[in-house]
Amino acid sequence: MNAVNILIGLMPMIGWGLFPVIVGKIGGKPASQIIGTTLGTLILAIIVAVFRGTPIPETKTFIFCLISGACWALAQIITFHVFETMGVSRTMPITTGFQLVGASLWGVFILGNWASTQSKLIGFTAIILIILGVYLTAWSEDRSSASKNGAVRGILLLLVGELGYLGYSAFPQAVHADGFQGFLPQALGMAIVGLIFGLTQTSKTYQPFKAATSYKNIFSGFFFAFAALTYLISAQPSVNGLATGFVLSQTSVIFATIGGIYVLKEKKTKKEMVAVLIGLVLVLVAGSVTAFIK
């Protein structure tokens, strides 16, 4: 592995790390955020497909990748809702931790990973550490019932959203889809869900398709698409491979969390800040372990 490959592997960190911060900075309701994000992703996916001359995949692969993108959009709508109550700096480590755990459990129970007893022992220990890290990043000194109820509700919503993120990864794997061929149908699936959700949220008092934030958030969609695209490049065997590429991409949680605190001004006490930093280290280190277990 050379310096260029590592640099490519860290590109998703920039895109996925800044994506939630930019969304938070632009603002808007979840409907505006998902419309803009998915349209931005679709625009970049079309540009990439045209310039690469990427062929349209066969029907089954196209449909599975379309469903994959739809799953991501449904999960992201939930995440945008949680941003409103818990903030980016608390939400992103939790959703990253859940995705790491979800991907690991999927690999064990569906794909047959961690075959040996030793691998299972190491792997499930790592999962426990990830859960501990998630708890620390969500921990708050505010002991009021309103704060506790809000945190519990947010975490439960993110658990539901994890099903969507799992579908985002699992459907292309089920048909062994090539990453670049799957990129455009995934983006199309995202955009379809984004537009449908926007229509369901349209009322006399709120019209997301006329809201400026819906179109400003196209910019945030470019960051998500940039991260997804560079991850596809990084995950290729000739660059970093799937395991290393995945671990490098998850460092985006550092950017997102720190950005939420210092850019979006999400306040933390000194004790909460220490807990966040320890939690981030646990999530990243234990997540790295799960990616490399055979």
* pLDDT tens per residue, range 132-157: 998 898 888 887 776 778 888 999 99
CB 64 within 8 A of CB 174: yes
> Any alpha helices (H) in the chain, and if so which ranges?
3-26, 30-52, 59-86, 88-109, 117-138, 145-174, 179-200, 212-216, 218-234, 241-249, 252-262, 270-292
pLDDT score at 144? 77
Chain centroid to CA 73: how far?
A: 10
Q: Locate 261 and state its tokens.
A: 């605190």
Q: Which residues are within 8 A (CB) of 134 and not within 5 positions of it... i.e. 6 or more apart?
A: 93, 94, 97, 98, 279, 283
pLDDT value at position 29?
96
pLDDT class of 26 with cuts at 50, 70, 90: very high
Q: What span, in angstroms and rounded, lies between the C-alpha atoms of 16 and 106?
A: 22
Question: CA–CA separation, 285 vs 236, rounded Å?
Answer: 22
Cα four-point dihedral sign 80, 84, 89, 93: negative
Task: Locate 90 and state its tokens.
Answer: 């608390």
DSSP one-letter code for 210:
G
pLDDT at 245: 80
Write down how long the chain is. Answer: 294
SS3 per-residue string spanning 21-69:
HHHHHHCCCHHHHHHHHHHHHHHHHHHHHHHHCCCCCCHHHHHHHHHHH
Note whether 202 and 110 are within 8 A (CB). Answer: no
The model's confidence at residue 1, banded by pLDDT at 50, 70 and 90, is low
How deeply is 24 buried, as exposed, middle or buried, from its count of CB atoms within 10 A (0-12, 13-18, 19+)? buried
pLDDT, tens digit (0-9, with 9 covering 90-100), for 29-81? 999 999 999 999 999 999 999 999 989 899 999 999 999 999 999 999 999 99
**Residue 146 confidence (pLDDT):** 66
CB contact at 8 A, 175 and 60? yes
CA dihedral 84, 27, 265, 255 (to 10 degrees): 90
For the chain, report the end-to-end CA distance as a whole number of angstroms.
Answer: 20
The separation between CA 159 and the C-alpha centre of its own chain, rounded to angstroms, equals 13
| Sequence ranges of the domains in the chain | 3-292
